[in-house]
């Protein structure tokens, strides 16, 4: 009983602020709910319209998918590279670790405002760097061609978070495995492929799933920096959902979008988990 | 344990007492809750109005909550059944849905009974408070646009500084002449700050809603012409890339770094607050104010300007709608309008106040402000119509402009797509409203 009493704040919070809204949103997704008027039941109409008659739904879902396929390998890959670099036993590593992790601590909105100025075509750092590298100056967020790449690039700023976790995993690889590999005559790359990667695969697996969920929920930066522009080039799925819910007075429709999003991320995650049986090695566990 | 419990009990008691005390001070007076969107200094000016009303009306107490710039707060309050008695509809595209779904009181009866007359008002301002012919709010000051030009820049380019362009085509030629580029081809001064495509549409004689049927008319011939003109204007000044790059480097609007004040743009269409900003931040600037140019061949569109209003509405489930209406009607008194207009540098929406000598004469700034007031009265002053799909319409129009500028669609294609999407959404929305 005492135990329950101690956990009750969390239970109440979960029921009221998480479970109830989730169930309510599913209920609303089956209705035409204009917010200013009670919801009217329409069955699966919202889902059918979304999947067959909404020209924007597929386009924006593809934006997120492209974001995922480009951003995730870059993000996890660069996190891994940085972690390997930081895994050296040199002086000052703690300082570098802190510096590289710092961007992950910056609040998303503040970061977005900052990057708006970095990407400013006339005065921004991004174009100054392009100048130094003798590359042509770009219009970044103001040009539909470069807006999405710019945002993918900006997202890489936060690799520090994943990097720290990967670093911890790297440092957890048993040293005797490396020694055994060395004795067998394995080179650097072979050691990496056959010792390092399998041993840190659980962490990579975790980052992959979190990354999939994250890229499909991408919202704050798009909302603060471009509001979906220019020419709808950065109208990501979650932003379109927001517009439907709070500007177009189509709350039921937006809830249906949310549940489809859930279905997408769930299936992708299940896919990764199923494939994980092949390549994720748990220490002491069965292959 | 005991002392803590005593402290807890005592503080709870004090809180309860203070709450009672709150009401006691207002007992006998009807509490009218108002949620207003003004912030900072403007909020203080609005509060002064509320205080003045309270002093003159012993039976009513207007309780103003300022800084409510997010309309969704009010919408949530309405949905929850605890709306304020009156609120500023800060986001104009929300007016259509709010009115269409019956969330606002219709005020035609109250208007007639209060002795207010349509002829008291600036016509376009009152029109903005109507939805499908019914009055669902009242204006409280309005914004209007005029054409401004930098006289020194004109002289530099060899143009007559007292001769602003009368037609849009003239304006485009001047924009090309006044644009100054440096050796790299980057723009140093932009001839014309890009005007709103909505304004251009009206200056070409186009429109967004059929006045008779209420149907969406996004791809009217005049609208296509206006969008084509806009693309040409950008091209003549250096193309989208250069113009956008230059535009993104503009300093903050209100302050000495406004691009017009520092000579970064030579001409612009902007609002009635500019003369007072210039007086405050850049008093040595030589500038002129003139009516907005119209499409050559369409003299009937001379005097076109787009207006917007601060609108106050009363939710249907307000607890004290009668007293709220009294406040709204009181805000239309000429002296109240003048006081607020002076504080905010906005145009009054009551005609008697427009010609108030204190507002519109005496200094160069006031004379220029007076021009804005005159332009607001022109029959061609118009605001974007209230529709149930306002947000979608504006988002689609913005995207259409972008598509045209980046060469992805022709103006006709872009507006045809807008027409298709918006009119089908409108039909769906109407069906949903009818239930």
Secondary structure string (H, E, C) spanning chain B: CHHHHHHHHHHHHHHHHHHHHHHHHCCCCEEEEEECCCCHHHHHHHHHHHHHHHHHCCCEEEEEECCCCCHHHHHHHHHHCCCCCEEEECCHHHHHHHHHCCCECCCHHHHHHCCCCHHHECHHHHHCCEECCEECCEEEEEEEEEEEEEHHHHHHCCCCCCCCCCEHHHHHHHHHHHCEECCCCCEEEEEECCCCHHHHHHHCCCCCECCCCCCECCCCHHHHHHHHHHHHHHHHCCHHHHHHHHHCCCCCCCCCCCCCCCCCEEEEEEECCHHHHHHHHCCCCCEEEECCCECCCCHHHCCCEEEEEEEEECECCCCCHHHHHHHHHHCCCHHHHHHHHHHHCCECCEHHHHCCHHHHCCCHHHHHHHHHHHHHCCCCEECCCCCCCHHHHHHHHHHHHHHHHCCCCCHHHHHHHHHHHHHHHHHHHHHHHHC
Residue B35, strand partner residues: B65, B87
Domain CATH number, residue B364: 3.40.190.10
Q: Which 8-state DSSP code applies to residue A137?
A: P
Q: Is residue B289 part of a domain?
A: no
In degrees, to the nearest 5, what angle opens at C-alpha A89 toward C-alphas A85 and A90? Answer: 85
Closest C-alpha among B58, B82, B63, B52 to residue B23: B63
Per residue in B102-113, pLDDT (tens digit) is 999 999 999 999
Backbone φ, ψ for residue A276 (5° rounding):
-65, -25
Closest C-alpha among B108, B106, B70, B102 to residue B89: B70
A54 touches chain B (CB under 8 A): no
Closest to A122 (Cβ–Cβ): which among B246, B425, B432? B246
Residue B134, strand partner residues: B131
Per residue in B368-417, pLDDT (tens digit) is 999 999 999 999 999 999 999 999 999 999 999 999 988 889 999 999 99
Report the b/e string of A41-73 with b at 16+ CB within 10 A: ebeeebbebbeeebeebeebbebbeebbebbbe
């998918």: which residue's tokens? A65
Flag if A32 and B406 touch (Cβ within 8 Å).
no
Task: Please report the pLDDT score of residue B145 as a whole number.
Answer: 95
Q: Is residue B133 part of a domain?
A: yes
Query: Residue range A130-148: average pLDDT?
Result: 88
What count of CB pairs under 8 Å joins A to B? Answer: 72
Task: Please report the pLDDT score of residue B383 as a whole number.
Answer: 93
Q: Is residue B387 part of a domain?
A: no
For residue A284, pLDDT beyond 90: no
What confidence category does residue A194 fall into, taking pLDDT thresholds of 50, 70 and 90? Answer: confident
Task: Please report the pLDDT score of residue B248 as a whole number.
Answer: 76
Q: Does an H or E element contain A41, and which?
A: strand A40-41
Closest C-alpha among B288, B286, B326, B377 to residue B113: B326
What confidence category does residue B21 fall into, taking pLDDT thresholds of 50, 70 and 90? Answer: very low
Task: Please report the pLDDT score of residue A136 as a whole number.
Answer: 86
Among A36-50, A68-82, A273-287, B182-196, whose mean pLDDT is lowest?
Answer: A273-287
- Residues A255, A256, A261, A263, Cα dihedral to 10°: 130
Task: Please report the pLDDT score of residue B11 as a whole number.
Answer: 60
Flag if B248 and A247 touch (Cβ within 8 Å).
no
Integer Cα distance of A132 and B296 in angstroms: 48
For residue B15, pLDDT beyond 60: no
Flag if A249 and B101 touch (Cβ within 8 Å).
yes
Integer Cα distance of B291 and B308 in angstroms: 17
Q: Is residue B365 part of a domain?
A: yes
- Residues A105, A110, A111, A117, Cα dihedral to 10°: -150
Domain that holds residue B96: 28-143+308-371
B268 φ/ψ sector (left φ>0, alpha ψ -120 to 50, else beta): beta
For the stretch A90-98, contacts whose Cβ atoms lie closer than 8 Å and that sit 24 or more positions apart, written own/partner, are A97/A164, A97/A167
Q: Is residue B95 part of a domain?
A: yes
Hey, of B245, B315, B391, which one would you mutate to test binding to chain A, going by the most A CBs within 10 A of its CB? B245
Among A110-119, B15-24, B110-119, B382-391, whose mean pLDDT is lowest?
Answer: B15-24
Task: Please report the pLDDT score of residue B22 as a whole number.
Answer: 47
Closest to A247 (Cβ–Cβ): which among B391, B398, B399? B391
Mean pLDDT across chain A, nearest whole number?
90
A53 touches chain B (CB under 8 A): no
For B413, counting Cβ atoms within 10 Å of its Cβ (0-12 exposed, 13-18 middle, 19+ buried), the class is: middle
Flag if B75 and A247 touch (Cβ within 8 Å).
no
Contact B61, B30 (CB under 8 A): yes
Task: Please report the pLDDT score of residue A207 as a whole number.
Answer: 93
Model confidence, pTM: 0.88
For residue A32, pLDDT beyond 80: yes
Task: Please report the pLDDT score of residue B3 as a whole number.
Answer: 64
Integer Cα distance of A71 and A149 in angstroms: 9
Report the b/e string of B72-88 with b at 16+ CB within 10 A: eebbebbeeeebbbbbb
Flag if A37 and B102 touch (Cβ within 8 Å).
yes
Flag if A144 and B402 touch (Cβ within 8 Å).
yes
Closest C-alpha among B354, B152, B370, B359 to residue B272: B370
Mean pLDDT across chain B, nearest whole number?
90
* Chain A positions in Cβ-Cβ contact with residue B98 (cut-off 8 Å): 36
Task: Please report the pLDDT score of residue B12 as a whole number.
Answer: 60
Closest to B101 (Cβ–Cβ): which among A34, A143, A229? A34
- CATH no. of A54-279: 1.10.3720.10
Integer Cα distance of B99 and B388 in angstroms: 8
Contact B65, B35 (CB under 8 A): yes
What confidence category does residue B19 fall into, taking pLDDT thresholds of 50, 70 and 90? Answer: very low
Per residue in B422-431, pLDDT (tens digit) is 999 999 888 8
Integer Cα distance of A37 and A40 in angstroms: 9
What confidence category does residue B24 fall into, taking pLDDT thresholds of 50, 70 and 90? Answer: very low
Closest C-alpha among A29, A82, A58 to residue A245: A29
């479970």: which residue's tokens? A19
Q: Which residues lie closer than 8 Å to B251 by C-beta, 6 or more apart?
A: B257, B258, B259, B262
For residue A235, pLDDT beyond 90: yes
For residue B347, pLDDT beyond 70: yes
DSSP helix/strand/coil, A40: strand
Alpha carbon A240 to its chain centroid, in Å, reads 17
B385 φ/ψ sector (left φ>0, alpha ψ -120 to 50, else beta): beta
- How is chain A split into domains, by residue range? 54-279
Q: Which residues lie closer than 8 Å to B375 by C-beta, 6 or more apart?
A: B144, B145, B146, B291, B292, B303, B305, B381
Query: Residue range A192-214: average pLDDT?
Result: 91
* Chain B positions in Cβ-Cβ contact with residue A35 (cut-off 8 Å): 75, 79
Q: Is residue B162 part of a domain?
A: no
Report the b/e string of B271-302 with b at 16+ CB within 10 A: bbbbbbbbbeebeebebbbbbbbbbeebeebb
Query: Residue range A79-95: average pLDDT?
Result: 89
Flag if A40 and B435 touch (Cβ within 8 Å).
yes
Query: How many other β-carbons are positioned within 10 Å of the β-carbon of residue B42?
Result: 18
Closest to B241 (Cβ–Cβ): which among A55, A139, A228? A139
For B258, counting Cβ atoms within 10 Å of its Cβ (0-12 exposed, 13-18 middle, 19+ buried), the class is: buried
Per residue in B127-144, pLDDT (tens digit) is 999 999 999 999 999 999
Number of structural domains, chain B?
A: 1
Q: Which residues lie closer than 8 Å to B426 by C-beta, 6 or more apart?
A: B215, B216, B387, B388, B389
DSSP helix/strand/coil, A31: strand
User: Quick one: tokens of B295?
Assistant: 């499409």
Flag if A121 and B391 touch (Cβ within 8 Å).
no
Integer Cα distance of B86 and B105 in angstroms: 10
Flag if B406 and A40 touch (Cβ within 8 Å).
no
Integer Cα distance of B120 and B376 in angstroms: 14
């Amino acid at each position: 009983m005492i135990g329950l009493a101690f956990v009750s704040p969390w239970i109440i919070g979960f029921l009221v602020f998480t479970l109830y809204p989730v169930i309510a949103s599913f209920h609303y997704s089956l209705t035409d709910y204009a917010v200013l008027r009670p919801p009217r039941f329409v069955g699966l109409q919202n889902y059918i319209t979304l999947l067959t008659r909404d020209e924007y739904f597929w386009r924006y879902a593809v934006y997120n998918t492209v974001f995922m396929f480009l951003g995730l390998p870059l993000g996890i890959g660069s996190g891994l590279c940085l972690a390997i670099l930081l895994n050296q036993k040199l002086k000052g590593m703690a300082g570098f670790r802190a510096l590289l992790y710092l961007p992950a601590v910056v609040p998303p909105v503040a970061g977005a405002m900052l990057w708006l100025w970095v990407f400013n075509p006339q005065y921004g750092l991004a174009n100054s760097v392009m100048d130094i590298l003798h590359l042509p100056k770009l219009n970044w967020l103001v040009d539909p061609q470069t807006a999405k790449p710019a945002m993918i690039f900006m997202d890489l700023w936060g690799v520090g978070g994943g990097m720290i976790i990967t670093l911890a995993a790297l440092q957890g690889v048993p040293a005797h495995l490396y020694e055994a590999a060395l004795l067998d005559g394995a080179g650097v790359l072979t050691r990496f492929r056959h010792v390092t990667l399998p041993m840190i695969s659980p962490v990579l697996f975790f980052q992959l799933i979190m990354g999939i969920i994250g890229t499909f929920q991408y919202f704050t930066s798009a909302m603060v920096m471009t509001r979906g522009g220019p020419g709808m080039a950065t109208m990501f799925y979650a932003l379109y959902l927001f517009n439907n819910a709070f500007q177009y007075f189509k709350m039921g429709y937006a809830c249906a979008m949310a549940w489809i999003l859930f279905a997408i991320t769930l299936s992708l995650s299940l896919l990764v988990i199923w494939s994980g049986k092949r390549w994720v090695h748990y220490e002491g566990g069965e292959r | 344990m005991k002392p803590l419990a005593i402290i807890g009990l005592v503080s709870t008691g004090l809180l309860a007492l203070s709450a009672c005390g709150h009401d006691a001070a207002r007992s006998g007076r009807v509490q009218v809750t108002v949620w207003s969107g003004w912030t900072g200094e403007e909020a203080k000016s609005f509060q002064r109005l509320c205080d003045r009303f309270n002093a003159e009306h012993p039976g009513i107490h207007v309780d103003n909550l300022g800084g409510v710039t997010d309309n969704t707060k009010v919408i949530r309050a309405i949905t929850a059944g605890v709306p304020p008695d009156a609120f500023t509809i800060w986001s104009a595209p929300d007016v259509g849905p709010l009115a269409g779904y019956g969330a606002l009181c219709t005020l035609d009866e109250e208007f007639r009974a209060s002795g207010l007359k349509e002829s008291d008002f600036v016509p376009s301002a009152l029109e903005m408070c109507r939805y499908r012919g019914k009055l669902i709010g009242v204006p409280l000051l309005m914004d209007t646009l005029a054409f401004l030009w930098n006289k020194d820049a004109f002289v530099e380019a060899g143009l007559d500084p007292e001769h602003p362009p009368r037609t849009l085509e003239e304006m485009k030629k001047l924009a090309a002449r006044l644009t100054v580029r440096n050796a790299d081809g980057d723009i140093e001064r932009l001839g014309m700050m890009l005007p709103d495509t909505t304004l251009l549409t009206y200056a070409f004689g186009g429109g967004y809603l059929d006045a008779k049927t209420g149907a969406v008319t996004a791809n009217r011939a005049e609208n296509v012409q206006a969008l084509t003109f806009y693309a040409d204007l950008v091209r003549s000044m250096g193309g989208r890339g250069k113009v956008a790059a230059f535009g993104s480097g503009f300093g903050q609007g209100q302050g000495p770094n406004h691009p017009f004040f520092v000579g970064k743009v030579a001409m612009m269409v902007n609002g009635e607050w500019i003369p007072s900003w210039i007086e405050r931040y850049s008093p040595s600037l030589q500038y002129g104010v003139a009516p907005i140019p119209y499409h050559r061949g369409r003299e009937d569109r001379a005097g076109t300007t787009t207006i917007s209003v601060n609108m106050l509405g009363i939710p249907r489930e307000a607890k004290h709608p009668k007293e709220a209406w009294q406040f709204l009607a009181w805000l239309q008194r000429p002296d109240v309008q003048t006081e607020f207009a002076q504080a905010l540098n906005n145009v009054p929406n009551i005609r008697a106040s427009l010609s108030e000598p204190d507002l519109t004469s005496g200094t160069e700034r006031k004379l220029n402000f007076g021009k804005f007031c005159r332009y607001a009265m022109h029959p061609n002053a118009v605001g974007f119509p209230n529709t149930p799909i306002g947000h979608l319409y504006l988002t689609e129009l913005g995207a259409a402009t972008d598509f045209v500028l980046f060469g992805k669609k022709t103006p006709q294609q872009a507006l045809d797509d807008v027409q298709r999407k918006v009119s089908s959404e409108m039909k769906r929305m109407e069906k949903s409203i009818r239930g």
